[in-house]
Amino acid sequence: MALIVQKYGGTSVANTERIRNVARRVAQYREQGDQVVVVVSAMSGVTDRLIGLAKEITALPDEREMDMLLSTGEQQTIALTAIALHALGQKAVSFTGAQAGIVTDGTHTKARIQDITPDEVHRALDAGNVVIVAGFQGATEDGQITTLGRGGSDLSAIALAAALKADLCQIYTDVDGVYTADPRLVPKARKIAEISYDEMLEMAGAGSKVMQLRSVEFAKKFNVVFEVRSSLNDNPGTIVKEESASMEDVVVRGVSLDKNQAKVTVWGLPDVPGRAASIFNALSQSAINVDMIVQNASHAGGNPATDLTFTVDKPDLLKAGKVLEGLQAQLGFREVTSDEKIGKLSIVGVGMRSHSGVAARMFTTLASEGVNIGLISTSEIKISVVIDLAQGEQAMQALHKAFLE
Ligand code: ASP
Ligand code: MG
């Protein structure tokens, strides 16, 4: 008998037929004698619709009330899933995050899990129930409802698996697992059998949004092995776990393209200490996430100056422009330009640590496709380049062919 945590995302519970399908899968595990904890998201579209309603009333709704509102999405799904299991003759009980013992800090709309005391979950399991827990939500110690940030049901599942010391954690979604590239863009993309936490994090950071980033960080920290698989078939998925020696045999695990970044350049910034600090402090105070940063010193035409280029998430571009405008007089730079038509193309793999010539091969491949490279950044297991968005898919296919076919 195993204790299994299964998480079903919004598309897997999109309607009552899909919820019945989830119940049937859960019932199969029960019939083998396993104990099952099910974590569910809101039915797809529900969270966005609730946010839309609040924004019809005001642009900046109160965050405590947003948590009160958004947590209702998952509460619909837990009850419907329990009802679907009852209809199959299975004992099942639904719990809110708070009832499941998920305690968070008080940062409404992006709370952090502080502790999980799943005593009630254990009791209900021992009484023969399937336990269905609302994902994405918890409560502070004094009972205020909180949510864990968009996509937070993944985190609920991983954290519960850790707290319950589950034997197995399965993340059910609408794709068969993690692929070497987005199969919609690269027809020859393959499902990856096993991937390390670090590769998964770099792939997610590089735009392959299979799972919430925080949930993978949490899994790495608490060594929770999990499987990403489809709720629409019985194919085995992708196992995500700590790196093993054989993983280094593969140089590149995957290729990804992030179309959601924009490039900002601050021209003619005086080359003296503190200028970059002022810029990035101001951006961070406005909660603007900066990814790649490149600076180039140029001493042309008198005073030493630098051109500073960085990327931000596309939706933050306007805000970033405003922040920089406000700093121009104080910092004395010449002008700011931006470019939204970029793509960030990355190759990821732990094998890069022990293989040489990977960057050379990447750049040669791009050159032979006539793709110009704007920015470059690297980590131990990733190389990213910024290129023209119009060439993004072609370049991605070429890299996939060079490293993975
Ligand atoms: N329903 C929430 C969202 O859409 C949480 C989740 O789906 O994981 O972000
Ligand atoms: Mg989701």
Q: For residue range 98-152, what is the model confidence (pLDDT) as tens digits?
A: 999 999 999 999 999 999 999 999 999 999 999 999 999 999 999 999 999 999 9
The pLDDT of 200-218, averaged and rounded, is 86
Ligand 1 within 6 A of CB of 153: yes
State yes or no: pLDDT of 240 exceeds 80: yes
Tokens representing 70?
């958004």
9 Cα to the center of ligand 1, angstroms = 8
* Residue 315, pLDDT score: 86
134 Cα to the center of ligand 2, angstroms = 13
Angle of helix 213-221 versus helix 197-205 axis, rounded to 10? 160
131 Cα to the center of ligand 2, angstroms = 20
Which residues, at least 6 apart from 281, have a Cβ–Cβ distance to it below 8 Å?
Answer: none
Q: Which ligand is nearest to the CA of 154?
A: 1
Which phi and psi (to 5°) does residue 332 adopt?
A: 70, 35
Weakest-pLDDT range from 66-75, 80-89, 295-304, 387-396: 295-304
Longest dimension (CA), the chain: 81
Share of the chain above pLDDT 70, in %: 99
State yes or no: pLDDT of 295 exceeds 70: yes
Burial class from Cβ neighbours inside 10 Å (0-12, 13-18, 19+) for residue 299 reads exposed
Tokens representing 21?
């399908």
- Could you read off the pLDDT of 46-61 as tens digits, one per residue? 999 999 999 999 988 9
The pLDDT of 145-161, averaged and rounded, is 97
Burial class from Cβ neighbours inside 10 Å (0-12, 13-18, 19+) for residue 274 reads exposed
Closest CA relative to residue 263, chosen from 318, 210, 339: 339
Between 322 and 299, whose confidence is greater?
A: 322
Tokens representing 168?
């197995």
pLDDT tier at 297 (50, 70, 90 boundaries)? Answer: confident
- Could you read off the pLDDT of 335-359 as tens digits, one per residue? 999 999 999 999 999 999 999 999 9
Ligand 1 within 6 A of CB of 101: no
Q: Which ligand is nearest to the CA of 39?
A: 1
pLDDT tier at 301 (50, 70, 90 boundaries)? Answer: low
pLDDT tier at 162 (50, 70, 90 boundaries)? Answer: very high
Ligand 1 within 6 A of CB of 12: no
The pLDDT of 360-378, averaged and rounded, is 96
Closest CA relative to residue 222, chosen from 161, 312, 294, 266: 161
Q: How far apart are CA 59 and CA 54, in angstroms?
A: 8
Ligand 1 within 6 A of CB of 73: yes
* Residue 210, pLDDT score: 83
With beta carbons less than 8 A apart as the criterion, state whether 314 and 307 touch: no
The pLDDT of 301-317, averaged and rounded, is 88
pLDDT tier at 42 (50, 70, 90 boundaries)? Answer: very high
* Residue 341, pLDDT score: 97
* Residue 304, pLDDT score: 85
* Residue 374, pLDDT score: 92
Q: Is the pTM for the entire model greater than 0.85?
A: yes
Q: How far apart are CA 288 and CA 3, in angstroms?
A: 41
State yes or no: pLDDT of 208 exceeds 90: no
* 178-202 burial: b if 16+ Cβ within 10 Å, else e: bbbbbeebbeebebbebbbbbbbbb
Closest ligand 1 atom to 153 CA: 8
Closest ligand 1 atom to 154 CA: 8
Closest ligand 1 atom to 42 CA: 1
Domain boundaries, the chain: 3-174
Ligand 1 within 6 A of CB of 8: no
* Residue 299, pLDDT score: 66
Helix-, strand-, coil-residue percentages of the chain, each rounded to 5:
40, 25, 35
Task: Identify which of 72, 96, 153, 231 to mutate to test ligand 1's pocket (most ligand atoms within 8 A of the CB).
Answer: 153
pLDDT tier at 300 (50, 70, 90 boundaries)? Answer: low
- Could you read off the pLDDT of 241-284 as tens digits, one per residue? 999 988 989 999 999 999 999 999 999 999 889 999 999 999 99
* 59-87 burial: b if 16+ Cβ within 10 Å, else e: eebeeeebbebbbebbbebbebbbbbbee
For residue 69, give Cα distances in angstroms to 46, 75, 137, 188.
Answer: 11, 11, 11, 42
Q: Which option is the CATH number for 3-174: 3.60.15.10, 3.40.1160.10, 3.40.50.300, 3.40.50.150?
A: 3.40.1160.10
Tokens representing 190?
């393959």
State yes or no: pLDDT of 1 exceeds 90: no
Closest CA relative to residue 145, chosen from 74, 61, 43, 248: 74
With beta carbons less than 8 A apart as the criterion, state whether 230 and 186 touch: no
Tokens representing 387?
């290129």
Ligand 1 within 6 A of CB of 97: no
Closest CA relative to residue 101, chosen from 82, 79, 120, 76: 120
Residue 368's SS3 state is helix
Q: How far apart are CA 270 and CA 288, in angstroms?
A: 23
228 Cα to the center of ligand 1, angstroms = 16
Share of the chain above pLDDT 90, in %: 89
Ligand 1 within 6 A of CB of 197: no
